[in-house]
């Protein structure tokens, strides 16, 4: 019997985001972004996501008063891709990457967000990055916005709550689409558009204390509305400027299982799934789903729309559905006496059948297959898995190697599940990019020691180290997977 393989042309690769990988935060004319003020709290339990992600005006002011501090603000240094990109992309090429998912830092192109003209040095940097990718036959997949609204947008305008954000963003999109029209075909609008609910500051530039007397959930959904309109306009602009380009939405795929078959638990799981789907439903179908409108109505949430918003959202839906998948959780009507664990900026009900990562995220390869089937059946649009992986504490051994067999085991199980979904369940999937293919600063904890990469970056949580790049054991394993298009897994 012939061995199993992934479909011809399957796009294998890896993913990063500018705010976590680049560094060079004040070089090349880049302005401040919200991520440059995201502080590492070394004294707080890393599992306390609220403490790590709740940011006040005072926090931002403190950050701005210390531009020299790269220890407490690790996203300012990232993995120093800004200076190492040639070496990093060469290593991606060596692994055989066919795609590299990355993001463009908005504040590198428009340092304040509201500038009249773009920063040429920033544009030239991404030209160089894309050219380097081309050298190795790597297709860039570019996220237009990944946790880096310009800080001025947050401080002067109220972040994405302001309608003006749409105009600033579309100017940015027009600029990058025009500049890179011959270099980039695949685009994503907003990374994990739903994450505004979990971390409104990094996703939407929303600082709660700047909205006194307002229902903050309403503020978040208003900002979300502006992102939905901006996303539709970005899709329109991209299609107009780059014929044949493909634009996707990007969702945090949360998959919930009913804790028992009690109808109350099943209903709870359904509700939790809807609280995830409401975002991709809006971006794929081009209108708010009825259940989200009911939520607004029942909770007194009033979204201000302008004439034409509904038509714009309807006219420019996304071409494909991309998502991150790390874990699954359970849902129960009553959680009394049940165990909880941590998750992707959330607390999750523990599933007794699953193991968890060192950070508590429940590892569930079959959940990836279930998620792919759910999404494909719902939308009938091609999928793209743009984040998945295991955050782990890797050890650089004395002989200079990193033996991350646990990561290989994690990927092996997820890749099999992914192929099952494609081959047995008929899911169309364009490709797969593992998260943090080279070690990057963690989004939730700002740690460097929460590593996802095939490539180790010699740097600790405080930024100390040589920043040397060292291929891990998984590097050679992934190289083989790509070379054989998955055949070596079987």
Identify the residue whose tokens are 């941590």: 342
> Looking at 344, 362, 388, 434, which residue binds ligand BGP (CB under 6 A)?
344
391 binds ligand BGP (CB under 6 A): yes
Q: Give the Cα separation of 483 and 95 in Å (integer).
A: 8
**87 in active site:** no
Neighbours of 216 (CB within 10 A): 12
Catalytic residue among 22, 218, 387, 443: 387
148 binds ligand BGP (CB under 6 A): no
324 binds ligand BGP (CB under 6 A): yes
> Looking at 92, 97, 125, 435, which residue binds ligand BGP (CB under 6 A)?
435
33 binds ligand BGP (CB under 6 A): no
Identify the residue whose tokens are 């998260």: 435
The residues, ordered by sequence, that sit 6+ positions from 89 with a Cβ below 8 Å of its Cβ are: 100, 129, 132, 133, 135, 136, 138
Name the minimum Å distance from CB 465 to ligand BGP: 19
Quote the strand ranges of 110-206, DSSP E.
139-145, 186-190
Name the minimum Å distance from CB 397 to ligand BGP: 23
Q: Which stretch binds ligand BGP (CB under 6 A): 4-12, 116-124, 435-443, 468-476?
A: 435-443
Q: Give the Cα separation of 64 and 36 in Å (integer).
A: 9
Quote the strand ranges of 52-107, DSSP E.
99-103
Name the minimum Å distance from CB 439 to ligand BGP: 11
Nearer to ligand BGP, 194 or 218 (CB): 194
Nearer to ligand BGP, 119 or 322 (CB): 322
Catalytic residue among 139, 192, 342, 443: 192
442 binds ligand BGP (CB under 6 A): yes
295 binds ligand BGP (CB under 6 A): no
17 binds ligand BGP (CB under 6 A): yes
Q: Give the Cα separation of 432 and 421 in Å (integer).
A: 13
387 binds ligand BGP (CB under 6 A): yes
Q: Which stretch binds ligand BGP (CB under 6 A): 73-81, 156-164, 314-322, 436-444?
A: 436-444
**387 in active site:** yes
Q: Give the Cα separation of 198 and 143 in Å (integer).
A: 19
> Looking at 218, 281, 443, 461, which residue binds ligand BGP (CB under 6 A)?
443
444 binds ligand BGP (CB under 6 A): yes
Q: Give the Cα separation of 33 and 42 in Å (integer).
A: 22
Q: Give the Cα separation of 277 and 299 in Å (integer).
A: 19
Site for ligand BGP in 182-241 (CB under 6 A): 191-192
Q: Where are the alpha helices (DSSP H) in 119-163?
A: 120-135, 151-152
450 binds ligand BGP (CB under 6 A): yes
Determine whether 78 is exposed, middle or buried from the number of CB atoms within 10 Å of its CB (0-12, 13-18, 19+): buried
Q: Are the C-beta atoms of 399 and 457 separated by less than 8 Å?
A: no
For residue 176, give the 3-state DSSP assignment: helix
Read off the DSSP letter of residue 156.
Answer: I
Residues found near ligand BGP in the complex (CB under 6 A): 17, 20, 191-192, 252, 324, 344, 387, 391, 435, 442-444, 450
Enzyme catalytic residues? 192, 387
């Amino acid at each position: 019997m012939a061995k199993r393989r992934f479909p011809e042309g399957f796009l294998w690769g890896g993913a990063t985001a500018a705010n976590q990988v680049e560094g060079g935060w004040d070089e090349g004319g880049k302005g401040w972004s919200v991520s440059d003020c995201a502080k590492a709290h070394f004294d707080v339990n890393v599992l306390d996501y609220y403490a790590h992600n709740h940011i006040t005006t005072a926090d931002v002011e403190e950050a701005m008063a210390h531009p020299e501090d790269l220890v407490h603000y690790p996203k300012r240094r990232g993995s120093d891709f800004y200076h190492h990109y040639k070496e990093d992309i060469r290593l991606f090429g060596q692994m055989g990457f066919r795609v590299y998912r990355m993001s463009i830092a908005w504040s590198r192109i428009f340092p304040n967000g509201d500038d009249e003209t773009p920063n040429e040095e920033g544009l030239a940097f991404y030209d160089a990055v894309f050219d380097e990718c081309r050298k190795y036959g790597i297709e860039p997949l570019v996220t237009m916005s990944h946790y880096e609204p310009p800080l001025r947008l947050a401080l002067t305008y109220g972040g994405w709550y302001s309608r003006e954000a749409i105009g600033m963003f579309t100017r940015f999109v027009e600029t990058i689409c025009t500049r890179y029209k011959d270099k980039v075909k695949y685009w994503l609008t907003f990374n994990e558009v739903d994450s505004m609910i979990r971390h409104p500051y990094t996703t939407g530039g929303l600082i709660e204390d700047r909205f006194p007397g307002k229902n903050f959930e309403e503020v978040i959904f208003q900002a979300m509305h502006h992102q939905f309109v901006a996303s539709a306009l970005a899709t329109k602009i991209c299609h107009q400027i780059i014929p044949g380009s493909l634009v996707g939405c990007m969702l945090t795929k949360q998959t919930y299982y009913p804790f028992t078959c009690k109808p109350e638990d099943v209903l709870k799981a359904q509700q939790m799934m809807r609280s995830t789907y409401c975002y991709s439903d809006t971006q794929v179908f081009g209108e708010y789903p009825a259940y989200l409108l009911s939520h607004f109505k029942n909770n007194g949430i009033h979204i201000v729309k302008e004439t034409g918003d509904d038509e714009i959202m309807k006219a420019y839906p996304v071409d494909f559905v991309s998502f991150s998948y790390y874990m699954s959780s359970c849902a129960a009507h009553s959680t009394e006496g049940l165990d909880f664990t941590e998750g992707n900026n959330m607390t999750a009900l523990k599933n007794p059948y699953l193991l968890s990562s060192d950070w508590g995220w429940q590892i569930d390869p079959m959940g990836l297959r279930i998620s792919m089937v759910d999404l494909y059946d719902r939308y009938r649009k091609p999928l793209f898995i743009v984040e998945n992986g295991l955050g782990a504490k890797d050890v650089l051994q004395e002989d200079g190697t990193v033996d991350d067999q646990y990561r290989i085991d994690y990927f092996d199980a997820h890749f099999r599940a992914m192929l099952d979904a494609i081959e047995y369940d008929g899911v169309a999937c364009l490709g797969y990019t593992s998260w943090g293919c080279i070690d990057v600063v963690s989004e939730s904890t700002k740690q460097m020691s929460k590593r996802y990469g095939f490539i180790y970056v010699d740097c600790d949580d405080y930024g100390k180290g040589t920043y040397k790049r060292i291929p891990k054991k998984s590097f050679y394993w992934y190289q083989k997977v790509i070379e054989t298009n998955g055949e070596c897994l079987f």
